Amino acid sequence: MKQLIYRSQPFGFDQAMLDGILIAAQRNNRANDITGALICRQDMYIQLIEGPDEAIDDLFALIRTDDRHTDVQLETSEPVEQRMFPDWEMLADTNPSMTFSQTQVENGAVESASADTLRDVFRRIADDARS
């Protein structure tokens, strides 16, 4: 099983677009045994996806060509033994204060964050979702 984290810049972000992404992700991810979480705001996407290696590779290839994203950057892709989000086809971050402030994003905090820092953000989101 593989876990992958990427970041990108949204193109044409609005709530309707986010709702469409989440509905499609939940449906398609369920069919492909993929779970994960999406941090999504008007200034950034950061997503963690996990599941069978080939399914993750195929999904990331689609994301890289999706015109709702610009500047897609792979942060980490590695084998894992257990899922961080086993019960979520795609969890939307409902507490953006747990991630990066707009000022931090503007000052490059996301681009300079290590894979471990990003993984820790997702761990906090996973812990919060289980509470």
Torsional sign, CA 23, 92, 37, 45: positive
In the predicted model, what is the mean pLDDT of the chain?
87
Per-residue model confidence as pLDDT tens digits over 24-35: 888 889 999 999
- Calculate what percentage of the chain has a pLDDT beyond 90: 46
* Gap between the Cα atoms of 63 and 109, Å rounded: 22
The whole-number average pLDDT for the span 94-115 is 78
Residues 50-67 have a mean pLDDT of: 95
Residues 48-56 have a mean pLDDT of 97
pTM of the model: 0.88
What is d(CA 6, CA 73) in angstroms, rounded to the nearest whole number? 6
pLDDT of residue 72: 95
What average pLDDT does range 62-90 have in this prediction? 92
The stretch 107-124 carries a mean pLDDT of 90
- pLDDT at 94 (0 to 100): 55
As a whole-number percent, the residues of the chain with pLDDT over 70 amount to 95
List 44's β-bridge partners, or say none. Answer: 41
